[in-house]
C-alpha cells in the first residue's frame, strides 16, 4: 500500500463512541483531562466528539482542538454524518488544531438503507463523493466510514470505497458496527477490499468494531494481518452495548506478539521496532483516569488493566512466578505502568509535591483547581496516614465534575444501629448559596441519605444502580461509590470517594443529580440513530 505507514495507527474514540456508553457522559473538563492523557499515551488520532450533536459537544471538540491539537500532538478528529451541516459544524469545531480530520460516514448495508436511511444504493453512491469532496474542501485530512460494513454486500462496498477515495478520502474505515463478524470473515472482508478496490493504495485502511460477541480484538488483529493499518478503539473497551475493541488489549497484543506480526509488515520476525507509537507505560494510568471519570468500573479479570491481571492465587502459579516470572506472566506489569511503589505522599507533603504527582498521573490543574485539590488532600491526610496514587485519583476525578455543579452538599449526618431506625439529615446549597435541609428514614443509612436528597431536588429520577468498592486496602481505605439515575430513558452517573462511605454515597448522588439537571433542555442527537437530510447544502 502506497500510504501504508509501516506500523499500526491507533485511533482513539473514547471521547466519542466510548462516551455513548449509558451513563458515561462527560463534561468539558473531564473530556479535556482524558484528551490530554491520550496525547501522553501517544495515540495517533483522538476522535474528540460529534460536534453537530449539541453545543456542549461542539465546545468540547473545539477546546480539545485548541489545547491538545498543537505541535506534534495527535490528529484531532470530529465525527460527521454525510450531511453538509454536520461536516460544516465539524470543520469549525476542529479548526484550532494543527493536525485535524473530518470523519464522515454513511450506512452501506441493505438493512440500514431500507429501514434507517430509506435510500437506494444509487442514492448512496451519489451522496458519498459529494460529501467527501465537500469535507475535503474544508480540511486536508478526510476519513470515510461505511457504516455496518460487516453486513454489507462486498461488491457494493467496493464501489462506495472507490468513489470515496477518488473524492479525497485518505482513510477508509470498515466498521463492524453491530459486532456481527468472526475473525476469519472480517479478515476476508479486509483482504477483499485490498484486492478489489482499484485505488485502495491511495488510502489507509482502518477498522472499527463492537464487542457484542466478544470478538472485537480478535477481529482487529486478523484485519491487521490482511492489511488494516489503523485501529479504532477505546480505553477499557467502553462504548455502546458491549463496548468497542479495547485499546490496551490491541496495543499489548501487538507488543507481546510482535515476532508473530512483524512479517505482515515486511519486517524480520526479530525486528525490535514497535508496531504502534503508544507509550505502553501510560496504559494503566490512562485506564484508571477513564474509569474514574466515566464511573465505568473495570472488571477485576479484565485483560491488561484489571485488578487481577497480574495477580496469582494458585500455589503452583505463585511458586513458578517466584522462581521466574516468565513461567506464568507474558507481560511485565511495569511495561503497562504498574509498579509496586504505591505510597506517594503523606500529611507533611507540600503543594509542589502534590502538583507534581498529579501531573504524573495525567492531571494538569489550574491554580484554583490545584488549591482545592490540595485542601482535599490535606483533609484526607489528617484521616489517613498514607496517601496512594489511587487516593489522589479519587480526589481529583470527583473534583473535575464540579464546574457544572448546581447543587453542593453542605452537610450529611446519619444515625443508625441495631436498635435504631436509620435516619439521615442532609443539607444542600444551590448556586446562590441558599441552603435547604431534609430528614428521611430509610432501610439503611445510604437509603436514608438518598431519600432525603430526593426530597430536596424536585427532579423526577429513579436510582437504578448503587455500587461501592475500596480504592485501596486497609481499615482506613477510601470507599468509592458510583450511583446511576434514570430519567426519560437517559442514564446519569455520579461517583465520589471518601473514608466515610455514607458521605461518599451522598456526594455521588449529588454529582449524578447535577448531571441530570445540567442535561435538561440540552438535546443531544445520536450520530447513528437520529434522522438527517443527508444531501442538504451548506448555508455558507
Here the cell at position 440 is 428521611
Task: Give the containing element (helix H, strand E) for 97.
Answer: none
What contacts 24+ positions apart, CB below 8 Å, involve 524-531? Answer: 524/53, 524/54, 524/56, 524/57, 525/52, 525/53, 525/54, 526/20, 526/53, 527/50, 527/53, 527/79, 527/81, 527/105, 528/147, 528/177
Terminal-residue alpha carbon distance, the chain: 37
Question: What is the per-residue pLDDT across 328-350, written as a single tens digit (0 to 9) for each?
Answer: 568 888 899 876 544 457 777 88
pLDDT tens-digit profile of 174-231?
A: 999 999 999 999 999 999 999 999 999 999 999 999 999 999 999 999 999 999 999 9
Q: Which residues pair with 481 in a beta bridge?
A: 468, 496
Class of residue 165 by CB neighbours under 10 A (exposed 0-12, middle 13-18, buried 19+):
buried
Listed in sequence order, the residues at least 6 apart from 317 whose beta carbon sits closer than 8 Å to its beta carbon are 327, 328
pLDDT of residue 343: 44
Helix (H, G, I), strand (E, B) or coil at 233: strand
The continuous run of DSSP H or E covering 443 comes out as: none
CA dihedral 471, 473, 474, 478 (to 10 degrees): 0
3-class SS at 397? helix
Burial class (CB in 10 A: 0-12, 13-18, 19+), 477: middle
b or e along 81-97 (b: 16 or more beta carbons within 10 Å of the residue's beta carbon)? bbbbbbbbbbbbbbbbb
Cβ pair 108, 147 in contact under 8 A: yes
Q: What is the pLDDT of residue 351?
A: 83
Q: C-alpha angle with apex 229: 224 to 234, nearest 5 degrees?
A: 85
Grid coordinates of 203: 488510502
CA pair distance 444, 416, nearest whole angstrom: 8
Per DSSP (E only), the strands in 194-250 are 204-209, 230-233
Question: For residue 222, what are the contacts with CB-CB under 8 A and spacing of at least 6?
Answer: 183, 184, 186, 187, 190
Using left for φ > 0, alpha for ψ between -120 and 50, and beta otherwise, residue 280 falls in alpha
d(CA 146, CA 113): 12
In angstroms, what CA-CA distances link 148 with 106, 173, 374? 9, 11, 48
pLDDT of residue 316: 45
Cell of 527: 450520530
Supply the DSSP symbol for 281. G
Q: In the block, which residue shows the cell 445540567?
A: 518
Residue 264, number of CB atoms within 10 A of its CB: 12
Round to whole Å and give the CA distance between 483 and 467.
7
**The pLDDT of residue 206:** 98
Q: Please report, for residues 96, 385, 393, the alpha-carbon distance to residue 350 in angstroms, rounded to integers and kept in the order given.
A: 36, 15, 17
**Half-sphere CA count of 451, side-chain side, radius 13 A:** 15
Secondary structure (3-state) at 415: strand
Q: Which of 218, 163, 156 is nearest to 185 (CA)?
A: 218
- Cross-sheet strand order for the sheet of 435-441: 408-417, 420-429, 435-441
Does residue 100 sit in helix, strand or coil?
A: strand
- Alpha carbons 520 and 512: distance in angstroms, whole number: 13
**DSSP one-letter string for 111-131:** HHIIIII---HHHHHHHHHHH
Q: Which residues pair with 387 in a beta bridge?
A: 345
Segments in the chain below pLDDT 50: 1-2, 312-322, 341-343, 536-540
Separation between Cα atoms, residue 454 and residue 441, nearest integer Å = 12
Q: What angle do CA 178, 264, 188 make, to 5 degrees?
A: 35
CA–chain centroid gap for 195, Å, is 34
Q: Phi/psi class of residue 293: alpha, beta or left (left: φ > 0; alpha: ψ in -120 to 50)?
A: alpha
Amino acid at each position: 500500500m502506497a500510504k501504508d505507514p509501516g506500523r499500526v495507527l491507533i485511533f482513539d474514540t473514547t471521547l466519542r463512541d466510548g462516551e455513548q456508553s449509558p451513563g458515561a457522559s462527560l463534561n468539558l473538563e473531564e473530556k479535556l483531562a482524558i484528551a490530554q492523557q491520550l496525547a501522553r499515551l501517544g495515540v495517533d488520532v483522538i476522535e474528540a466528539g460529534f460536534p453537530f450533536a449539541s453545543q456542549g459537544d461542539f465546545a468540547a471538540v473545539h477546546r480539545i482542538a485548541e489545547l491538545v491539537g498543537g505541535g506534534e500532538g495527535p490528529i484531532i478528529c470530529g465525527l460527521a454524518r454525510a450531511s453538509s451541516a454536520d461536516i460544516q459544524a465539524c470543520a469549525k469545531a476542529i479548526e484550532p488544531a494543527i493536525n485535524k480530520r473530518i470523519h464522515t460516514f454513511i450506512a452501506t448495508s441493505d438493512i440500514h438503507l431500507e429501514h434507517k436511511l430509506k435510500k437506494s444504493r444509487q442514492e448512496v453512491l451519489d451522496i458519498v463523493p459529494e460529501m467527501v469532496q465537500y469535507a475535503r474542501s474544508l480540511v486536508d485530512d478526510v476519513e470515510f466510514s461505511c457504516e455496518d460494513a460487516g453486513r454489507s454486500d462486498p461488491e457494493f462496498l467496493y464501489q462506495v470505497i472507490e468513489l470515496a477515495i477518488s473524492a479525497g478520502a485518505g482513510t477508509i474505515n470498515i466498521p463492524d458496527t453491530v459486532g456481527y463478524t468472526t475473525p476469519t470473515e472480517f479478515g476476508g472482508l479486509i483482504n477483499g477490499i485490498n484486492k478489489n478496490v482499484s485505488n485502495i493504495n491511495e488510502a489507509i485502511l482502518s477498522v472499527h468494531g463492537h464487542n457484542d460477541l466478544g470478538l472485537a480484538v480478535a477481529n482487529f488483529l486478523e484485519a491487521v494481518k490482511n492489511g488494516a493499518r489503523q485501529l479504532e478503539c477505546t480505553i477499557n473497551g467502553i462504548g455502546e452495548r458491549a463496548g468497542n475493541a479495547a485499546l490496551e488489549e490491541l496495543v499489548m497484543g501487538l507488543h507481546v506478539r510482535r515476532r508473530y506480526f512483524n512479517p505482515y509488515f515486511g519486517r524480520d520476525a526479530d525486528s525490535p521496532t514497535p508496531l504502534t507509537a503508544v507509550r505502553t507505560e501510560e496504559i494503566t494510568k490512562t485506564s484508571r483516569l477513564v474509569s474514574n471519570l466515566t464511573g465505568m468500573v473495570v472488571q477485576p479479570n479484565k485483560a491488561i488493566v484489571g485488578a487481577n491481571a497480574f495477580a496469582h492465587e494458585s500455589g503452583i502459579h505463585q511458586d513458578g512466578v517466584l522462581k521466574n516470572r516468565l513461567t506464568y506472566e507474558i507481560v511485565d506489569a511495569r511495561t503497562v505502568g504498574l509498579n509496586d511503589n504505591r505510597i506517594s505522599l503523606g500529611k507533611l507533603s507540600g503543594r509542589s509535591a502534590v502538583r507534581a504527582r498529579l501531573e504524573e498521573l495525567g492531571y494538569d490543574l489550574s491554580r484554583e483547581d490545584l488549591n482545592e485539590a490540595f485542601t482535599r488532600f490535606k483533609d484526607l491526610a489528617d484521616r489517613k496516614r498514607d496517601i496512594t496514587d489511587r487516593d489522589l485519583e479519587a480526589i481529583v476525578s470527583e473534583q473535575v465534575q464540579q464546574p457544572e455543579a448546581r447543587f453542593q452538599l453542605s452537610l450529611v449526618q446519619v444515625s443508625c444501629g441495631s436498635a435504631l431506625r436509620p435516619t439521615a439529615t442532609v443539607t444542600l446549597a444551590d448556586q446562590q448559596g441558599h441552603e435547604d435541609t431534609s430528614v428521611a428514614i430509610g432501610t439503611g443509612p445510604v437509603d436514608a441519605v438518598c431519600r432525603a436528597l430526593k426530597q430536596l431536588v424536585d427532579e423526577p429520577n429513579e436510582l437504578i444502580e448503587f455500587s461501592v468498592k475500596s480504592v485501596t486496602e486497609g481499615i482506613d481505605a477510601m470507599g468509592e461509590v458510583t450511583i446511576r439515575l434514570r430519567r426519560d430513558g437517559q442514564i446519569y452517573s455520579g461517583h465520589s470517594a471518601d473514608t466515610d462511605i455514607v458521605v461518599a454515597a451522598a456526594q455521588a448522588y449529588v454529582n449524578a443529580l447535577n448531571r441530570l439537571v445540567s442535561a435538561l433542555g440540552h438535546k443531544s442527537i445520536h450520530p447513528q440513530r437520529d434522522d438527517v437530510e443527508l444531501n442538504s447544502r451548506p448555508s455558507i
